[in-house]
Chain A
Amino acid sequence: MTSVSTAPDSATTSVALSGVSKVYGRGENAVLALDRVSLDVAPGEFVCLVGASGCGKSTLLNLVAGLDTPSGGTIRVGEDIAASGPESPGRPPASSGRLPSPGLMFQEPALFPWLTVAANVELPLKLRGLSRAERRNRVAELLDTVHLGDFGRRRPHELSGGMRQRVALARTLALDTPVLLMDEPFGALDAMTRDLLHDELERIWTERRLTVLFVTHNVREAARLADRIVLLSSRPGRIIYETRVTTPRPRRIDSAEVAAVAAEVTDRLRTEVGRHGR
């Protein structure tokens, strides 16, 4: 019953969760973190998962990233759009035919402090077995993508929080996976930096035709970025509401349209949180 597979599913789904549950602990202490969550994410779609604390958002991303295994249900990360990523031709596919797990970004940059910025971005390329020359080109290209071309030789601690998070984004992009998972990646940043990184992320998402599953508790952020917002309930995490954001891009986080979408989602979220007080 429980399986995580990367077999090609269908051409219309990039990430498919079906009846995914996650239980932590055993017996009387068991906590149901996720309860039969089903979600299909189309290739190239930007989906924001929103929920109050304790709704299992991060658990869900860990499961999709393959860092944890579900207690029930299936998770498929499709192969169908892998070919459209910026792959270099002639490279053999990943060993045993399994795709690398989707790239995952955390709230913290989680950079390796003993490596320079460039070496941080290079490590996934090294682990994939790219040649030195190939790696050098890719690192330069990735750092340019996040506008940090001049900072390759710095150490992470010499950079600001926003810059570190951009390095983390470049490192994740180095995996060349079509699916990008983001766990409140901008939660620790100041508002101005966050707004700029929204623009950056949107640009990179468009350019690279990525599929993004983005977790946040910030409803405005979700309305600014998402094609679709999915609301999760708390304890256990269940999908209770979904809405498509049809506001044309580029959007501004302080625009009336974004505010209107955010207001609607916030109302739903408040109702859900209020349910726990009763």
Chain B
Amino acid sequence: MAGDTITTRREEAETLSGLDALEIASRQKVAGGGRLLWAATWPKLAAIGLAIGIWQVVVWTGWKDPWALPGPGPVFTDLGQYLLTSAFWDGLATTARRAAVGFLAAVAFGLVLGLAVARSRILRAALGSMITALQTMPSIAWFPLAILLFQLSEQAIFFVVVLGAAPSIANGVIHGVDYVPPLLLRAGRNIGAKGLNLYWYVIAPAALPAIVAGLKQGWAFAWRSLMAGELLVVIATKTSIGAQLVYARELSEAERLIAIMIVILVLGLFVDAAFGVVDRAIRRRWGLLQSRRR
């Protein structure tokens, strides 16, 4: 009888692992590698090439004088020179520092605000719709008040960057906490996660994708607010990227102006790509990422 049971157990385990192997086989990851990277890259390169081509054709038609609209050739030559100047690196340092400080402050403020509103029914009733209202307010509309309050200063820019970004981040947190699947909450409570532990081990990680989406949107607002701020609030002693854009217009340096615009575009793309990497990493871990090729 005992021998019988052992045999049955072994058979049972074998059947089980056989079934597991069958089920798992269809779920193996598809190997990616260089070809996948190229497949994702070439359409982008082609689109950039096409945009530059159209730009060149417009210049050739003579629609505008070259001092107003220079062609890609002179602009990229100037860009190469500009990247070697200390003015560019000083400006980049100023702009990057403002972006980092403003965004981090917005993150801290937005996370605390979002968590508070998500937890408290009274705060939600009071502030929930106000946060959304703030989010719809174009941040450039804050600048006249910011300049009145803080004059043409760093604080004015900081104020608007934080106000621009924090509501999106707070909304991301609120959304994330609201949409934690109730089943996961019950499971978490059942395995002994109570109070702060429930927040730390269940709610926070479950809300993470929505929080990252909020951060990404918050960054987009912070970057726009910062650029608007640097154009409006030009501080003579600090040559930010935005200030140099203003100078280029005042001095009618069209090549430099467009070169700086390209810098701003590329900076924005880099940060966006960084958020994209984080977002994809999370979704891959969660199994939410569908492979494009089936």
Contacts and interface: CB of A to CB of B under 8 A. Distances in A.
A175 to B, nearest CB: 6
Interface stretch (A79-87, A152-160, A265-273): A152-160
A11 interface: no
A104 interface: yes
Given A104-B190, A127-B201, A110 B12 contact: no
Contact of A160 (B9, B20, B189): B20
Contact of A112 (B9, B19, B202): B202
Interface string A64-85: 0101000000000000000000
Given A127-B193, A128-B192, A203-B9, A106 B285 contact: no
A85 to B, nearest CB: 15
For chain A, the bracket of interface size reads 35 or more
Interface in B276-290: 282, 285-287
Interface stretch (A14-22, A42-50, A193-201, A208-216): A193-201
B183 interface: yes
Contact of B191 (A123, A148, A200): A123
B174 to A, nearest CB: 20
B132 interface: no
A256 interface: no
Contact of B190 (A67, A160, A200): A67
Interface residues of B, number: 33
Contacts of A106: 183, 186-187
Q: Which of B5, B17, B190 is packed against the most chain A CB atoms within 10 Å?
A: B190
Contacts of B12: 196, 199-200, 203
B122 interface: no
B27 interface: yes
B23 interface: yes
A225 B37 CA distance: 53
Nearest to B287: A157
Interface in A99-128: 100-101, 103-104, 106, 108, 110-115, 123-124, 126-128
A171 B287 CA distance: 20
A128 B194 CA distance: 11
A115 B200 CA distance: 13
Nearest to A161: B23
Nearest to A101: B190
Contacts of A110: 183-184, 186-187
B24 interface: yes
Interface in B1-36: 5, 8-9, 12-13, 15-17, 19-20, 23-24, 27
Given A114-B208, A147-B16, A124 B286 contact: no
B234 to A, nearest CB: 45
Contacts of A62: 186
B287 A156 contact: yes
B205 A193 contact: no
Interface string A124-164: 10111000000000000000000110010001111110110
Given A106-B183, A123-B191, A127-B191, A147 B13 contact: yes
Interface of A: 62, 65, 67, 100-101, 103-104, 106, 108, 110-115, 123-124, 126-128, 147-148, 151, 155-160, 162-163, 171-172, 174-175, 192-193, 196, 199-200, 203, 250
Interface of B: 5, 8-9, 12-13, 15-17, 19-20, 23-24, 27, 183-184, 186-193, 197, 201-202, 205-206, 208, 282, 285-287
| Top-6 shortest CB links A-B | A157-B287, A160-B23, A110-B187, A124-B191, A127-B192, A113-B286
Given A128-B192, A172-B191, 15 more contacts: A103-B191, A106-B186, A110-B184, A110-B187, A112-B205, A114-B206, A114-B282, A114-B285, A126-B201, A147-B16, A147-B20, A160-B20, A175-B191, A192-B19, A203-B12
11 contacts: A113-B287, A123-B193, A127-B191, A156-B287, A157-B286, A158-B24, A158-B287, A160-B20, A160-B27, A172-B191, A192-B19
